[in-house]
C-alpha cells in the first residue's frame, strides 16, 4: 500500500485539551531548555544552552564539507573550513531564545515543541563576520535578501525541505552577524551546527541557521517554508501574518532555595534571600528590571549589573527579599530603553511565537 508525505505529516493545529501529547513529549525529550539555575552563569556551559532541532542532527565530514556563496554575486565562491578560519575572526557574546518559548502555557495550546519558559541560553560565538564573505564574493548591493541553507533535511506540514531562512541584506551586513565555527572557545558541537552556523545577534533562534552549506544572494524576498509558512504571528490559519524577527524583552529569575523533585516547587527558609536573574532583549537594550514578591500586586526596582561590553547578551539583576513563612509568588519584569516591557498575560497566536509574559515562581517559605 503506497503512502504519501501528506499522510505522515500533519498541518499545524491547536489543542484545547489539558494534556501534552506523546508527540510533543518526544520533542521535549530531544530538545531541551536551560535548567533555570544555570541562569547564574554569564556564559551558559556547553550542554545547558537551549536546543531546538527541526529534523535530525546531520552527520557532516568536515574534510568534505564546503560552503558555497552564490546568487547575485560577482563570483560564486566555495570555502572549506580552514579557508574560513583564515579570514578575520570575531567573538560575540549572544543571548539566543527560541521564538516559541512559552508556547506550552498558551490556551488553547499550539501543538509544536512544548516550551514552558526555558528556551534560552548565552554563548560566546567565534567566526568570520558574514559581511567579509559577502564582500569577497562581490554581493550585489541592490539585492533584497540573503538566503541561508542548512544541511538538515526533513518534512514539515507535508513539505520536504532543507532548513532555509533569509535575512534582509541590511541585517546580513551588520558588523556582528557571524558565520560561527566555535562556541565557548571549542569547535561547534554537532547539535549547535558543526561545522558552521549563522549567528544573528538580537534575533530569535530560527534565524541562526545551523549546519550551513549554502548562502545565496537574491533579488526578491525569500518565500520558503520557514519564512512564509512557519515563524509568522497569525490569529487565523489563512492570514499571511507578521514575520518573527527580533527578541522581545524578558526577565527570568533563578528559582531561589531548593526544589521538590516532582513539582519543581521551590522551598526557602525565612530571612533575607538574594534573588538573582537575567534580563535580555534583541530590540532596545534592557534598562530596568522590576521584581514583585506578591504575585504582581506591587513592584520594586532590582539592581542591574553595570553594562559589561556585551550588548547582545543578557544582563544580571539582583534583589534582596525578606522571606517570611507562607506561600509567595515571585516575578521579574524587564523594560527596555524604548519603554517596551513584558505583559502580565500571554498574547495568544496560532504558532505560539514571541510570548514574553511575566514569569511566575511560586515559593513556599517554611519555618522549620
Residue closer to a second copy (CB basis): 43 or 136: 43
Binding residues for a second copy restricted to 41-100, rule: CB under 8 A: 45-49, 51, 53-57, 59
Nearest-angstrom CA–CA distance, 43 and 16: 38
Residue 191 has phi, psi (to 5 degrees) of -75, -15
In the complex, the smallest distance separating the C-beta of residue 284 from a second copy, rounded to whole angstroms, is 29
> Which C-beta is closer to a second copy: that of 59 or that of 322?
59
Q: Does 334 bind a second copy (CB under 8 A)?
A: no
With contacts defined by CB under 8 A, how many residues of the chain interact with a second copy?
Answer: 77
Residues 137-176 that bind a second copy (CB under 8 A): 153-157, 160
Q: Judged by CB under 8 A, which of 77, 118, 131, 344 binds a second copy?
A: 118
Residues 199-228 touching a second copy, rule: CB under 8 A, are none
Residues 23-42 that bind a second copy (CB under 8 A): 23-33, 35-38, 40
- Find how far residue 81's CA is from the centre of its chain: 25
Residues 6+ positions from 48 with CB-CB distance below 8 Å = 34, 35, 38, 41, 121
Max Cα distance, the chain (Å): 73
Least separation in angstroms between residue 53's CB and a second copy is 7
Quick one: which of 73, 77, 111, 217 contacts a second copy (CB under 8 A)?
A: 111
For 60-108, the DSSP string reads --TTT--EEEEESBSS-EEE-HHHHHHS--EEEEEEEE-TTTTGGGSSS
Query: Is omega for the bond preceding 137 within 30 degrees of 0, making it cis?
Result: no
In this structure, are residues 162 and 150 in contact, taking their beta carbons and an 8 Å threshold? yes
The smaller minimum CB distance to a second copy, of residues 73 and 252, is found at 252
Question: Nearer Cβ to a second copy, position 59 or 170?
Answer: 59
CB of 13 to a second copy, least distance (A): 9
Question: Quick one: 111 or 130, whose CB is closer to a second copy?
Answer: 111
- Closest distance of CB 151 from a second copy, Å: 11
The DSSP code for 36 is G
Binding characters for a second copy, 251-290, by CB under 8 A (x = yes): ----x--xxxxxxxx-x-----------------------
Asked if 10 is part of the footprint of a second copy (rule: CB under 8 A), the reply reads yes
Question: Rounded to an integer, what is the distance from CA 149 to the centroid of its chain?
Answer: 18
Residue from 5, 135, 219, 337 binding a second copy (CB under 8 A): 5
* Long-range contacts of 57-65, Cβ-Cβ distance < 8 Å, separation of 24 or more: 57/152, 57/190, 57/191, 58/150, 58/151, 58/152, 58/153, 58/211, 59/190, 60/151, 60/194, 60/195, 60/211, 62/194, 62/195, 65/195, 65/196, 65/213
Nearer to a second copy, 98 or 354 (CB): 98
Strands 120-129 and 178-183, bridge-based pairing: antiparallel
CB of 112 to a second copy, least distance (A): 7
Query: Contact between 19 and a second copy (CB under 8 A)?
Result: yes
For a second copy, which is the closer residue by CB, 173 or 189?
Answer: 189
Q: How far is the CB of 210 from a second copy (least distance, A)?
A: 13
Nearest distance in Å: CB 188, a second copy: 10
Alpha carbon 15 to its chain's center: 23
* Closest approach of a second copy to the CB of residue 177, in Å: 24
Alpha-carbon gap, residue 261 to 257, rounded angstroms: 13
Amino acid at each position: 500500500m503506497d503512502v504519501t508525505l501528506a499522510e505522515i505529516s500533519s498541518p499545524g493545529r491547536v489543542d484545547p485539551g489539558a494534556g501534552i501529547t506523546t508527540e510533543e513529549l518526544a520533542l521535549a525529550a530531544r530538545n531541551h531548555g536551560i535548567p533555570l539555575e544555570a541562569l547564574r552563569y554569564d556564559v551558559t556551559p556547553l550542554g545547558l544552552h537551549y536546543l531546538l532541532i527541526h529534523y535530525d542532527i546531520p552527520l557532516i565530514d568536515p574534510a568534505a564539507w564546503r560552503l558555497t556563496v552564490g546568487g547575485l554575486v560577482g563570483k560564486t565562491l566555495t570555502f572549506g573550513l580552514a579557508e574560513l578560519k583564515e579570514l578575520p575572526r570575531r567573538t560575540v557574546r549572544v543571548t539566543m531564545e527560541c521564538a516559541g518559548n512559552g508556547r506550552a502555557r498558551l490556551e488553547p495550546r499550539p501543538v509544536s515543541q512544548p516550551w514552558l519558559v526555558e528556551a534560552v541560553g548565552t554563548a560566546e560565538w567565534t567566526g568570520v563576520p558574514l559581511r567579509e564573505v559577502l564582500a569577497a564574493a562581490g554581493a550585489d548591493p541592490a539585492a533584497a535578501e540573503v538566503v541561508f541553507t542548512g544541511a538538515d533535511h526533513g518534512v514539515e506540514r507535508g513539505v520536504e525541505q532543507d532548513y532555509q531562512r533569509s535575512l534582509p541584506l541590511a541585517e546580513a551586513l551588520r558588523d556582528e552577524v557571524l558565520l560561527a565555527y566555535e562556541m565557548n572557545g571549542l569547535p561547534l558541537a554537532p547539535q549547535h551546527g558543526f561545522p558552521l552556523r549563522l549567528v544573528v545577534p538580537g534575533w530569535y533562534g530560527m534565524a541562526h541557521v545551523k549546519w550551513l552549506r549554502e548562502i545565496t544572494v537574491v533579488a526578491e524576498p525569500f518565500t520558503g517554508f520557514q519564512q512564509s509558512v512557519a515563524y509568522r504571528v497569525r490569529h487565523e490559519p489563512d492570514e499571511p501574518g507578521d514575520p518573527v524577527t527580533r527578541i522581545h524583552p524578558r526577565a527570568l529569575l533563578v528559582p531561589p532555595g531548593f526544589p521538590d523533585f516532582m513539582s519543581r516547587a521551590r522551598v526557602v527558609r525565612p530571612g533575607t534571600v538574594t534573588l538573582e536573574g537575567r534580563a535580555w532583549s534583541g530590540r532596545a537594550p534592557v534598562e530596568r528590571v522590576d521584581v514583585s514578591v506578591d504575585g504582581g500586586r506591587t513592584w520594586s526596582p532590582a539592581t542591574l549589573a553595570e553594562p559589561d561590553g556585551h550588548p547582545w547578551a543578557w544582563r544580571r539583576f539582583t534583589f534582596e527579599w525578606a522571606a517570611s513563612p507562607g506561600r509567595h509568588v515571585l516575578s521579574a519584569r524587564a523594560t527596555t530603553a524604548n519603554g517596551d516591557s513584558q505583559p502580565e498575560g500571554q498574547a495568544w497566536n496560532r504558532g505560539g511565537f514571541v510570548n514574553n509574559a511575566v514569569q511566575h515562581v511560586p515559593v513556599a517559605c517554611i519555618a522549620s
